[in-house]
Structure 1
Amino acid sequence: MGIERQMPGRQPRTRIQKKNTETILEAALDVFSQHGFRGSTLDQIAKAAGLSKPNLLYYFPSKVAIHRELIDGLMQTWLDPLRKMQAEGEPIEEILAYVLRKLEMAREYPRESRLFANEIVQGAPNIMDKIEGELKDLVDEKTQVIEGWISAGRIAPVDPYHLIFSIWATTQHYADFDAQIRGILHPEGDSHFEAARAHLDTLFRRMLTP
Structure 2
Amino acid sequence: MAGKPAKKPSRIQIRNRRRIMDAALEVFSQHGYRGATLDQIADAAGMSKPNLIYYFDGKEAIHVALLNALMEEWLAPLAELDESGEPLDEILTYVRRKMDMSRRYPRESRLFANEIIQGAPRIGPHLQSGLKPLFDEKCQLIRRWIEEGRLPPTDPQQLIFTIWAITQHYADFEAQVRVLIADEEAGWDAANAHVESVFRTLLASPGTLG
Partner of 1:207: 202
**Whole-angstrom distance in 2 between the partners of 1:190 and 1:126:** 36
Counterpart check, 1:65 vs 2:61: yes
Q: For residues 148-204 of structure 1, what are the alpha-carbon distances to aligned partners after superposition, in whole Å with 9 as ceiling and x for unaligned?
A: 0100111111110110000001101001001111111112x3431111111111110
Q: For residues 62-120 of structure 1, what are the alpha-carbon distances to aligned partners after superposition, in whole Å with 9 as ceiling and x for unaligned?
A: 11110111111100000000011101110011000000000000011111011101111
**Whole-angstrom distance in 2 between the partners of 1:142 and 1:151:** 14
Aligned pair partner of 1:179 in 156, 175, 178: 175
Scaled by the length of structure 1, the TM-score of the pair is 0.92
**Runs of 4+ in structure 1 displaced over 4 angstroms?**
none
TM superposition shift of 1:13: 6.9
TM superposition shift of 1:12: 7.7
Aligned pair partner of 1:94 in 90, 113, 127: 90
TM superposition shift of 1:16: 1.4
Task: Report the residue type matching 1:199 in the other structure.
Answer: H
Secondary structure of the residue that 1:22 maps to in structure 2?
Answer: helix
Partner of 1:136: 132
**Whole-angstrom distance in 1 between the partners of 2:10 and 2:46:** 19
**Whole-angstrom distance in 1 between the partners of 2:41 and 2:185:** 28
**Whole-angstrom distance in 2 between the partners of 1:205 and 1:135:** 25
Partner of 2:12: 16
Scaled by the length of structure 2, the TM-score of the pair is 0.92
Q: For residues 22-77 of structure 1, what are the alpha-carbon distances to aligned partners after superposition, in whole Å with 9 as ceiling and x for unaligned?
A: 11001000001111111111111001001111000000011111011111110000
Task: Report the residue type matching 1:146 in the other structure.
Answer: I
Which 5+ residue runs of structure 2 have no aligned equivalent?
Answer: 1-6, 206-210
1:141-152 matches, cutoff 5 A = 141-152=137-148
Q: How many residues align?
A: 199
Task: Report the residue type matching 1:208 in the other structure.
Answer: L
When the two chains are superposed, the root-mean-square deviation of aligned CA atoms in Å is 1.2
Partner of 2:187: 192
Tell me: CA distance 1:203–1:13, structure 2 relative to 1, closer, same or farther (3 Å).
closer
